[in-house]
């Protein structure tokens, strides 16, 4: 994919704006990336409701404005539950997912969050590798939690992963 000139820095990389909290104005693009990235996409209404209900949604844009990634978690007491982390398909394997997760988790640690939880499809190799690299450990399996990944396939297990943020 051709990179726009405005998105290149001196090293030919992508020029990025700071990660920031999402507003309603971001949500249609977040929803579009959600539908690209996940088999079980949310409805637009559910996304707007999540923001209104205080879910932590962060967007990361290129200097040109292009949405390159987003994060969504629900924080309760000293725990965060990561609901979604997605990088635009054309921007994957450049460390953006790892950086976004590291930044938001570091901020949450400073704010007193002690544990991060998530569920991931058993067959989602990319996400499992990413979360493993971030220090998450497998904490359990929810059998048949997800709709089948392909027509005719069985329902897919969820791997529950947990990060103890008191260490490290």
Ligand X SMILES: CC(C)(COP(=O)(O)OP(=O)(O)OC[C@H]1O[C@@H](n2cnc3c(N)ncnc32)[C@H](O)[C@@H]1OP(=O)(O)O)[C@@H](O)C(=O)NCCC(=O)NCCS
- Contact between 37 and ligand X per CB under 6 A: yes
The 3-state DSSP class for residue 78 equals coil
Give the position of tokens 């569920």. Answer: 119
- Contact between 160 and ligand X per CB under 6 A: no
Provide the token pair at 10: 């001196």
From the list 12-20, 56-64, 92-100, 156-164, the region that binds ligand X by CB under 6 A is 92-100
Per-residue HEC secondary structure of 102-166 comes to HHHHHHHHHCCCCEEEEEEECCCHHHHHHHHHCCCEEEEEEEEEECCCCCCCCCEEEEEEEEECC
- Contact between 85 and ligand X per CB under 6 A: yes
| Catalytic residue of the set 131, 137, 138, 151 | 131
Q: Applying CB under 6 A, which of residues 13, 21, 65, 95 lies at the interface with ligand X?
A: 95
From the list 4-12, 46-54, 127-135, 144-152, the region that binds ligand X by CB under 6 A is 127-135
Beta bridge partners, 72, equal 57, 84
Which CB atom, from 112 or from 127, has the smaller least distance to ligand X? 127
Query: CA 22 → CA 5, 9, 93, distances in Å?
Result: 25, 25, 23
Give, as ranges, the residues between 40 and 79 that touch ligand X (CB under 6 A): none
For residue 119, indicate whether it is catalytic. yes
Chain contacts with ligand X (rule: CB under 6 A): 37-38, 84-87, 92-98, 120, 124-127, 129-130, 133
Residues designated catalytic: 119, 131
């Amino acid at each position: 994919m051709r990179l726009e000139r405005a998105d290149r820095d001196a090293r030919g990389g992508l020029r990025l704006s700071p990660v920031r909290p999402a507003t309603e104005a971001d949500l249609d693009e977040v929803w579009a990336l959600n539908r690209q990235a996940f088999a079980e996409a949310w409805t637009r209404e559910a996304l707007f409701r999540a923001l209104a209900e205080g879910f932590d949604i962060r967007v990361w844009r290129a200097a040109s404005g292009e949405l390159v990634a987003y994060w969504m978690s629900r924080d309760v007491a000293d725990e965060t539950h990561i609901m979604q982390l997605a990088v635009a398909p054309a921007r994957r394997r450049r460390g953006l997912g790892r950086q976004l997760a590291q930044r938001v988790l570091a901020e949450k640690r400073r704010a007193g969050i002690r544990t991060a939880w998530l569920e991931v499809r058993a067959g989602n190799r990319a996400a499992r590798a990413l979360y493993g690299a971030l220090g998450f450990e497998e904490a359990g399996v929810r059998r048949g939690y997800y709709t089948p990944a392909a027509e005719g396939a069985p329902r897919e297990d969820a791997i529950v992963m947990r990060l103890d943020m008191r260490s490290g």
